[in-house]
Amino acid sequence: MSPVHKSVTGNSAVLVTGEKGGNVTLPCKFEARQISVIVLSSGSKNILVCGSEGCDGENSRVFKEGACDIVIKDLRLSDAGKYILNVYHNNDQLEPQTKYLHIQDEISVKTGDQLKLPVLLASTDKVETNSSGKWKEVWRRDHGVQSDRMNDRDGNLTINEFMDSDAGTYRVLDSEGEVLITVTVTGNFI
């Protein structure tokens, strides 16, 4: 699946969707001109952006392409969330751009096994599933898990003894209602 880009309704933010393990481009809407500095941030953390693909170092997964597009390689679920792209031209800051990165994943699990979903990010507000055909909340930041067969620990939402009724789509939302992660879980029923 190739990444999807769309504007978020009522906002100048752009939603970008990519698959876990794939690459995605956070588009920059400024035309090619002399860009002096690019600052990408998520939450209160600034992310080092390499000048081009192939640079060395810890953050070599994130690099500039073209005038100011940002590419993130080898997507992880933890990459999901809201990003602010600040671009400086001749030491003047251009209007910041907001990007929402949505990550999709697919997992297959055997009946009776434990399923760990690493989806409880700092920005996660709630997790819902449609395994019953309707969206149902299974975890909320201020209430925890909604089932005695689940627990939350170390950033994971864990389903103990996976059952066929647990199969379906799980979506992770932030406090603004933006979907951060979508995981489709299929069962290997033996």
Complete DSSP assignment for 24-84 = EEE---SPSS-EEEEEEEETTEEE--BSSTT--STTTTEEEETTTEEEE-S--GGG-EEEE
Give the separation between CA 47 and CA 99, rounded to whole angstroms.
14
- What is the value of pTM for the model shown? 0.84
Is residue 171 a contact partner of residue 127, using CB atoms and an 8 Å limit? Answer: yes
Task: Return phi, psi of residue 164, to 5°.
Answer: -60, -30
Q: What is the pLDDT of residue 55?
A: 73
CATH 2.60.40.10 region(s) of the chain? 4-101, 111-188
Q: What CATH number belongs to 111-188?
A: 2.60.40.10
Q: What is the DSSP letter of 131?
A: T
CATH architecture of 4-101: Sandwich (2.60)
Calculate Rg over the CA atoms of the chain: 18
36 vs 70: which has the higher pLDDT: 70
**What mean pLDDT comes out for the span 141-153?**
92
pLDDT grade, residue 33 (50/70/90)?
Answer: low
In the chain, the amino acid numbered 40 is L
Ramachandran sector of residue 126 (left: φ over 0; alpha: ψ -120 to 50; beta: rest)? beta
DSSP state of 164: G
Taking 80 as the threshold, does the pLDDT of residue 36 lie above it?
no
CA–CA gap between residue 158 and residue 149 (Å, rounded): 8
Q: How far apart are CA 26 and CA 85, in angstroms?
A: 9
- Strand pairing of 136-140 and 144-145? antiparallel
Q: What is the pLDDT of residues 110-125, one digit of tens each?
A: 999 999 999 999 999 9
Check if the beta carbon of residue 22 is closer than 8 Å to that of residue 105: no
d(CA 190, CA 184): 19
Contact 99, 83 (CB under 8 A): yes
- Give percent of the chain with pLDDT exceeding 90: 59
pLDDT at residue 2, rounded to an integer: 42
